Structure 1
Amino acid sequence: MAAVALTGAQPADASAHTPPGAVRAGGAGALLSPQEHAELLKEAARIAVELAKALNLDPREVLQPVDAAQDADGTVHFRYNRTFAALPVLGGDLVVHRTAQGALSDTRAHRASIGVPSTTPVVPATQVAQSLHTALPPRLVVWSAAGTPSLAWESVLEATQDDGTPSERHVVTDATTGGQLYAYEAVHTGIGQGQYNGTVPLGTTHTLLGYEMNDTARGGHRTYDMHHEAKGRGDLFTNQTDRWGSGDQSNDETAGVDAHYGAAQTWDYLQDVHGRTGIRGDGVGAYSRVHAGSNYTNAFWSDKCFCMTYGDGPGNAKPLTELDVAAHEMIHGLTSATAGLEYTGESGGLNESTSDIFGTAVSFHADNPTDVPAYLMGKHLDLDGKGTPLRYLDQPSKDGHSPDYWYDGIAGLDVHYSSGPANHFFYLLAEGSGPKTVNGYDYDSPTVDGRVVTGIGRADAERIWYRALTTYMTSTTDYSGARAATLQAAADLFGPDSATVTAVADTWSAVNVNS
């Protein structure tokens, strides 16, 4: 499954909505497989000594590869940290750019030549530790982030910030004079103002030059600005302060805030509710790209880049970065990493429904007062100009395309519409049929034969669907298979003779799935 989009009306490739020639030829980043990325890193290590000489670095400097990337035109970018006489150099990181023709250039954190008169400290480590009231010994480094490089001690002070956030304060002390050169907090909860989510906390990273939308607490999830280009990763959002966006779509950071926040909330939901660390369960974060294409009215997940991509909607005024939409995209990655539901026919509808179900679940878990949780997908996007949501879980047919109930032949529908019965099943299982109000939203969910269905609660409905997805569904699971998978999941969780198993069976019957 290369790419999965949010709606059926638009293709997943943003280039379809970008004027030809809008992207600089060869300037787009190439999507590398893990193997290709690993090979580039091996090359970075292999040529490190050669590059150091080409850059006229001091013979005592060693380049240590950190990352590598490649552009469509063959240009490669090798990112390195540096050591000097075997000491880490703070502010010594650089990126070496090599064209396909072999021409070299570099981008450095600090241009000053690395070098210190001596690597023997005057101020001992014990004195520094005592002055900072820490039992953790400092490490000897070369400080080269500003001014003339100097020998220094780097101490890490672990504590708790006033609001309960863990603190990891780094203090850099001159190893000759004992004076403080620099200090920073490595654990940051930035503040952003999104278009849909309001003012929210963000996981960001402090650098020597400012801040980045890099959530190291959640697998290094990063958010990039594509600047309305159709391809490539774009530029990582950076800021001199840890304040992002304005709440208005005219500020490019605003969409980044919503996407970054959505990724964080999805990570937290999977970890808090299902004990899963990251989409693949491997602790590795994906990344997000916003402002894709021009007037691109879609959002999609791609397994190839392990990333989410968001267009800005009609007139570039409605970025598709609402919380449940952001979660929807990330959950496609979860489905790919587990059941691998093929994106066609009934399995494709179940794939889409899984993203709608857990997109809704993430929204309820986040409980954002600005974007009040509801069983309505994309309720703020207004892509059709009528002020209506993309999809309704309580009565899917309200969108004019999705059926409320299963029927023979549903596999022929677009997967965004064949998801209807599964979305309806989840709502009924969680909340039950008939009129009710949840979080100020009114619902009146029907059933195929008018039977009354009593919900078991959203939390248990989520647990059942998650276990069914990760344990019993396969790439070709259809609606009958989904019924069997959820019944088995309910039996596992609540017992084979439990009322919950009966409720699951009754709810499937309410959407016309009986075997």
Structure 2
Amino acid sequence: MKKKNVLPVAVLSSALFVGAFAPIQAHAVQPEQTPQVSTQSMAEKFEKSKGNKPIFVVEKQAEKQNASNAAAAVNHLKKNQEKYKIKNPKSNFKPGQVKKDDLGMTHVNLQQTKNGVPVEGSEVIVHYDEENTVQSVSGHFNHEVEEADISTEPTLSKTEALNKAKNEVDAPEEMSYTPTSELVIYPYNDASQLAYKVNVNFLGKDPGNWFVFVDAKSGQVIDKYNALMHANGFRSATASGLGVLGDHRKLHITHKNDKTDNLKGTQFYLYDNSHDNLDGIYTYDMKNQWGGEDFQLPGVLYSNNSASFKDDYDRAAVDAHYNSEQVYDYFLEEHDRNSLDGEGMAIKSSVHYGQDYNNAFWNGEQMTYGDGDGEFFISLSAGLDVAAHEMTHGVTSNSANLQYRFQSGALNEAFSDIFGALVDEEDWEIGEDIMGEDARQSGRTSLRSLSNPDKYAVGAEYVSYGDGSGMYPTHMDEYYDLPLSLDNGGVHINSSIINHAAYLTGEQIGKDKLGQIYYRALTVYLTPTSDFSHARQALIQSAVDIYGEGSTEAEATESGLNQVGITE
């Protein structure tokens, strides 16, 4: 009988650990001679009420286009509007990003709008091959919004919406980042409403990166969710340091003479400016504070009076700094991606967050690591896979931007886990280097396992929503149909199904090829409301793009998904 080991309550939050709209719930592929099982989940019911329908059409047009740009993409949709069931594409879409990849393909993003106002979660991507021929069309389009008569003139001011959102989530007066607000059409509970989408980001013992939707007419809060994702004058120099587990680290740092303080003299900083076209890698010290009026994230730039960072207090910072560079190098070397946004944005980490904080998170801007309680967890920056997990959230935020709830949120978490296991090549576990002695003695030797997800138990409050086993799922017939109030609808729990599919594929074709396929799906085909079924199509198409139709890699990708019950 399996021993059920449950994480302590302190880590059941929407960060790296357990505490996202999905159009159509993936159906389960069962073993031979077993009836197929399908589940209409809470996420599916929610999405169906919105009329947000997935599009994934693979087709080669008879004639190539003169160009692969926004105008050509809209014209393609207009010529094929009966096939896609999209009326008036020219008035329904706002041109977005146009990207050309290393296969010579061009991808044109189109944002659905209503009278010029963006429709939340509805994007379509037209994909062109190197000869400007349409290869496929993917994304989501909301037909109900298209047909509805919706006024797009707000009666509520942006300031009023901001204040209502801040009150709704008990935001402090002083916040790390200025709140943002934009007008959107928000489909929710069988209706589509004009709303302000407000982002409120703050620290404390219970930090939040909240998205709050405020009705632009009545001022009522329609919906909310916490997207906190758990999991000059300087001269370049090199330094040495000791990591949390005693590893000797070679560090890229900078130094300068502090002329304002003669007692300090030359100071050495965990600021790496050695990479071309990168705004730098920075590691900060939160000094075991939670962030407040007098001390905000990211804290103070970590410094020392020598190039040797070997004191006990330094170790968390040493690992955060070292691991950030390792993850940066992985994405640059394997995927030609320059930093998390692909354009050289600064990579920032903060260590010593709070006291005994058993978590790490990506807050939409940077990585933040707690020190752990020393019993169940040690300093969370010790894990290379943890750093890769959090930084991949940054990649996702700057590409597919998967909504952090239900199946899209589970995909968000899964891609972070998968790239965590790809960057940390040694195994298929996540977080094995951050577990404390109490955790290990209880049998909890990692946070999650891609190879054997069901060796760990979920929290007691989740059990009744699954198949009764109480373990992390490996197959769609073990799917947890969770409400949004629990784990944001299962973002950490149901992610293990995608994790296991990646493991099964990776065992057949190797981690390098697996990374190429999953990276392409994330950055080319997935959109904010993609679900498991859409991910299946995106992953298989990505394998076909890179390795060819009928290739071993494409077959292995499909096989991995089939074995966990994700079928068309």
TM range (shorter): 0.5 to 0.7
Q: What SS does structure 2 have at the residue aligned with 1:416?
A: coil
Q: 1:382 aligns with which of 425, 435, 438?
A: 435
Q: 2:392 aligns with which of 331, 334, 339?
A: 331
1:189: Cα distance to partner?
A: 2.4
Contact 1:259 1:288 in 2 (8 A): yes
Aligned equivalent of 1:415: 491
Aligned equivalent of 2:549: 496
CA gap 1:281/1:509 in 2 versus in 1, 3 angstroms: same
**2:372 aligned with 1:313:** yes
- Give me the whole-angstrom Cα distance separating, in 2, the residues matched to 1:197 and 1:467: 36
1:414: Cα distance to partner?
A: 2.7
* Residue deviations 1:189-232 (CA, integer Å, cap 9, x gap): 22111013711111211212221000112431211111111112
- Give me the whole-angstrom Cα distance separating, in 1, the residues matched to 2:514 and 2:557: 9
CA gap 1:459/1:411 in 2 versus in 1, 3 angstroms: farther
Contact 2:407 2:490 in 1 (8 A): no
Contact 1:197 1:258 in 2 (8 A): no
Contact 2:236 2:272 in 1 (8 A): no
Contact 1:344 1:415 in 2 (8 A): yes
Q: 1:199 aligns with which of 248, 257, 261?
A: 248
Instruction: Find runs of 4+ consecutive structure 1 residues off by over 3 angstroms.
Output: 32-35, 407-411
1:253: Cα distance to partner?
A: 1.1
Q: 2:309 aligns with which of 244, 247, 272?
A: 244
Q: 2:417 aligns with which of 348, 356, 359?
A: 356
Aligned equivalent of 2:540: 487
Aligned equivalent of 2:130: none
Q: 1:290 aligns with which of 351, 359, 364?
A: 351
Contact 1:346 1:411 in 2 (8 A): no
Identify unmatched segments of 5+ residues in structure 1: 10-24, 36-70, 73-108, 110-144, 146-184, 365-372, 432-454
Q: What SS does structure 2 have at the residue aligned with 1:417?
A: coil
- Give me the whole-angstrom Cα distance separating, in 2, the residues matched to 1:408 and 1:378: 23
Q: 1:429 aligns with which of 491, 505, 522?
A: 505
Higher relative contact order (Cα pairs below 8 Å, separated by 6+ residues) = 2
Aligned equivalent of 2:403: 342
- Give me the whole-angstrom Cα distance separating, in 1, the residues matched to 2:14 and 2:272: 24
Q: Percent identity?
A: 36
Q: How does 1:194-233 map to 2 (within 5 A)?
A: 194-196=243-245, 198-208=247-257, 209-218=266-275, 219-231=279-291, 232=296, 233=298
**2:253 aligned with 1:190:** no
Q: 1:255 aligns with which of 286, 299, 316?
A: 316
- Give me the whole-angstrom Cα distance separating, in 2, the residues matched to 1:348 and 1:461: 21
**2:455 aligned with 1:395:** no
Letter in 1 for 2:310: G
**How many pairs are equivalent?**
315
Contact 2:453 2:496 in 1 (8 A): yes
Aligned equivalent of 1:514: 567
1:408: Cα distance to partner?
A: 7.9
1:463: Cα distance to partner?
A: 0.4
Aligned equivalent of 2:476: 406
Contact 1:192 1:254 in 2 (8 A): yes
1:420: Cα distance to partner?
A: 0.6
* Residue deviations 1:4-55 (CA, integer Å, cap 9, x gap): 610124xxxxxxxxxxxxxxx99x77425899xxxxxxxxxxxxxxxxxxxx
CA gap 1:400/1:30 in 2 versus in 1, 3 angstroms: closer
Q: What SS does structure 2 have at the residue aligned with 1:5?
A: coil
Contact 1:204 1:215 in 2 (8 A): yes
CA gap 1:411/1:214 in 2 versus in 1, 3 angstroms: farther
- Give me the whole-angstrom Cα distance separating, in 2, the residues matched to 1:279 and 1:408: 33
- Give me the whole-angstrom Cα distance separating, in 1, the residues matched to 2:176 and 2:361: 18
Letter in 2 for 1:427: Y
Aligned equivalent of 1:235: 300
1:384: Cα distance to partner?
A: 8.2
**2:531 aligned with 1:466:** no
CA gap 1:392/1:384 in 2 versus in 1, 3 angstroms: farther
Letter in 1 for 2:372: G
CA gap 1:505/1:418 in 2 versus in 1, 3 angstroms: same
* Residue deviations 1:83-126 (CA, integer Å, cap 9, x gap): xxxxxxxxxxxxxxxxxxxxxxxxxx9xxxxxxxxxxxxxxxxx
* Residue deviations 1:350-389 (CA, integer Å, cap 9, x gap): 111111111111112xxxxxxxx22111112225823110
Q: What SS does structure 1 have at the residue aligned with 2:476?
A: coil
Letter in 1 for 2:420: G
- Give me the whole-angstrom Cα distance separating, in 1, the residues matched to 2:18 and 2:310: 30
**2:356 aligned with 1:299:** no
